[in-house]
Amino acid sequence: MHYKAQGYARFSLGMVPLSGLQPRRGAPITQRLGSMIFRRGEQLYNFQGLRRFKDKFQPDWEPRYMAVPAGLDPLVALADTAALIAGGLTGLVKR
């Protein structure tokens, strides 16, 4: 309410990595893998806890996409993204 009183109409809580991916049949392997990591990867990152916390603010969720250039393995890009989120490879290992 503080910021609303100051005239702010909206602000960003940031993203929740891998949230919203559906493990449906026929989905690309990267989407299914991302969904599995979101559901079972709590030892890597608190994906679901972050989603629950941000849901308390009743956000308007907007999808974000990651594009991978031709020739780069999407799974490598996903691993790089996980390392970035964790604060580097040591962040992944420490968890």
Q: How many domains does the chain have?
A: 1
- The structure's pTM equals 0.64
Q: pLDDT, tens digit, for every residue of 41-92?
A: 888 788 899 999 999 988 998 888 888 899 988 888 877 877 787 777 666 5
* DSSP helix/strand/coil, 15: coil
From the DSSP assignment, how many helices (H) and strands (E) are in the chain? Answer: 5, 0
The answer on pLDDT for 95 being more than 60 is no
The pLDDT, as a whole number, for residue 79 is: 79
The pLDDT, as a whole number, for residue 70 is: 92
| Largest CA-CA distance found in the chain, in angstroms, rounded | 50
Range of the domain at 28: 2-94
Q: How far apart are CA 67 and CA 39, in angstroms?
A: 22
Q: What is the mean pLDDT of residues 33-48?
A: 85
